[in-house]
Structure 1
């Protein structure tokens, strides 16, 4: 079974629990992103500094991507390990590992954004090299401060596969959001309806993307152990 098919199979079998995690953890984080970004846009509206709104939106969107992965990674890994109380472990891991990954996430996002502003290549290198840090932290049960070095090793070893997956996830997420926005805006111009539909798409799709990445990482770990 290919990784993509395995991800679809896992998603369909666990959809109800994944949605519990989405609505209880991901949704509040998305509300924070929307609230902060809208506030920044309003503050700088009509000034030459409206780009601060774009910066804050990009920062929080990327930061949420890092932080919100934690419970989903733990849930998927718990199932792969045959754990019975996967949902409980997902919540516990989010609160136990969240603080260390929170600090890592801020530095990671800032470094990636600065690298992308200066030159695109440094931003991509930082993005890929440190991308697996939350996965290593959750799966190996280590704080982010003790996980990033292993993540960098994986980033170097699997640079192009990881880059491809990250770009694929980004394109799929953007495309789904864009299609949803255009589709809803053809029916209504109500901001709440457009925002709600985009949030719903994120809540449905984000778990699948994390499942896909987790299963890929599991395969790499198994291949590495078999060498």
Structure 2
């Protein structure tokens, strides 16, 4: 995982488990001179008794809509680094930005996005995320996703309009991009029907035809002005 992606993690409030050697044991001398010391030490050590795992969080501690959240279930057992590597090979976004962008869409309310709920329950919501996030970190990841999408869009349109690609090459680019996008949606648990896929492809093709036509018109105007 990239170093700059870990700086916004809220790990400071989540210390690791107490070591068994630090569980409140009392030495023989203090126990002998103070009989109550052994009893009080035993009571204090019950919260972290060596060899006994800490109790799992109860379902009551997790919001109901978080319990029922079903996206990303196809990725149970996936590691963050593997997901991140896949995305970096095919997109500009990271696994962190992908997951949080989807969560921000699903947990949007009339008054905004439930940043706190997303951050506090991130490991329960997304299998490959292991840390909780602050609301500020959630917002940062969402903003980064939006910025990258806008930048990628501008880059693509410029490439389409500057006459660098032929019409056939642009079709290939669009096909590859569509396949990656469809795969990500399927991993999220979105079931696309054949009709929906064809409709989406037709909308994209229509936009690309308009882009090519506009590009050709611009080049013709430039040629006329030069002549």
- Whether TM exceeds 0.5 here: the answer is no
TM range (shorter): under 0.3
Q: Which has the higher helix share?
A: 1
RCO higher in structure (CA 8 A, sep ≥6): 1
